[in-house]
Structure 1
Amino acid sequence: MDKLRRVLSGQEENEELGLTAQVLDATTLSYSTRVKWFVICFAGGILCSILGSALLFIPHTGIKLFAIFYTLGNIAALASTCFLMGPLKQLKRMFEPTRLIATIVMLLCLILTLCAVFWWHKKGLAIIFCILQFLAMTWYSISYIPFARDAVMKCFTTCLS
């Protein structure tokens, strides 16, 4: 009906532009929706990580469940930021020079955790990779806070001195 009104009033638009605008309008989320889904996804990630940690103590399959849930939790927490800034911008920012090493270590540890559990069957190695996941994810996350890395490094060197 809107199209007919535009044609009759002489406001006919280019059909491709109209389709592109419609697709962009359909895929654009409001700010409140983005924040809500960020919180839901981030909380789901934390819940998966906590659940994975609790499942660690189940005999025989506990380490596998731990590795799966802990890794899924980190992926969900990482993916939650896509709701705030968009997936493409998130990927660009992940691989900026200031975050490149933390991103590579984090992604590598995600993969190596699962490899340690399912292919190599090394429980201790899986736990080490989960700890490295946590450290890399923390280092990656604080890179978004101005001067946070410098403060952490200064605190760490002061504690060691």
Structure 2
Amino acid sequence: MSLPFNVQNSNNKFGFGDPMSEDPGLFNLSRTERYTAFGGCFIVGLVLSIIGSVLIFSGHMAAFAVCYSLGNVISLLGMGFLIGFKRQLKMATHPVRLTAFLIYIGLLIATFVTAFTLEIGVLCLILAICQFCALAWYSASYVPFGRKIISSVCGAWARSI
């Protein structure tokens, strides 16, 4: 599998080297094994999030919160297989991402608290949507111009209403 740019050369047009060569990770996995682990985490996370989304309509708030939030966390952790878990944590606490990361963690906790103690379905759904938005905003900080694109799309959508 090859990427659309040469990550072996640290002087590529994007200005960063091969993130997989810098941190062997916890498991000393090969590049192919890392891609497989990332894909597996992404698929498991997606399936759990979908199951959680279905469960909210059946009124099982606790099951929804666990499935949906765990699905998001597993998908996010999957990136650790690509760049290394230590580097991912370091990057998450970088000033440009820290606020979004903390908001995401706060919303994750609030979703659990709402589901297990308050059991208010509408609030739980709102928190889950906000959790998704915070995760999207956090993830967009890794993509060049990602946040700018999201802002432009949301601005255009808001103006069309």
Alignment TM class, shorter chain as reference: 0.7 to 0.9
C-alpha separation in 1, matches of 2:51 and 2:138: 23
Task: Give CA-to-partner distance per residue, 1:102-129, whole Å, 9 cap, x none.
Answer: 1011111111000001122222221111
Q: Which residue of 1 aligns with 2:113?
A: 115
Gaps of 5+ in 1: 1-23
Q: Secondary structure, in 3 states, of the residue corresponding to 1:146?
A: coil
- Which stretch shows the higher mean deviation, 115-124 or 128-137? 115-124
Deviates more, 1:39-48 or 1:142-151: 142-151
Change (3 A) 1:137 1:96: same
Listed as ranges, the gaps of 5+ residues in structure 2 are 1-23
> How many residue pairs are counted as aligned between the two chains?
136
In structure 2, what is the equivalent of residue 154 of structure 1? Answer: 152
| 1:27, distance to aligned residue in structure 2 (A) | 3.5
> Bigger shift: 117-126 or 63-72?
117-126
Q: Which residue of 1 aligns with 2:84?
A: 86
Give yes or no for the alignment of 1:100 onto 2:95.
no
Identity among equivalent pairs (%)? 35
Given candidates 121, 124, 137, the residue that maps to 2:122 is 124
Q: TM-score, normalised by structure 2?
A: 0.78
Q: Secondary structure at the match of 2:34?
A: helix
RMSD: 1.9
Task: Please give the TM-score of this superposition, normalised by the length of structure 1.
Answer: 0.78
**Of the two structures, which has the highest relative contact order with CA contacts closer than 8 Å and spacing of 6 or more?**
2
Q: Determine the structure 2 residue equivalent to 1:43.
A: 43
Runs of 4+ in 1 over 6 A off after TM superposition: none
Match of 1:17 in 2: none
Whole-Å separation in 1 of the counterparts to 2:78 and 2:100 = 18
CA distance in 1, matches of 2:27, 2:126: 40
| Alpha-carbon distance in structure 1 between the residues aligned to 2:148 and 2:52 | 32
Partner of 2:17: none
CA 81–68 in structure 1, closer or farther in 2 if over 3 Å, else same: same
CA 1:89–1:159 in 2, change beyond 3 Å: closer, same or farther?
A: same
Pair 1:159–1:131, CA change in 2 (3 A): closer
Q: Quote the residue 1:57 is aligned against.
A: 57
Per-residue deviation at 1:25? 10
Higher helix share: 1
Structure 2 match to 1:28 = 28
- How far apart, CA to CA, are the structure 2 residues paired with 1:26 and 1:155? 38
**Alpha-carbon separation, structure 1, partners of 2:25 and 2:48:** 33
Structure 1 residue 93: Cα displacement: 0.6
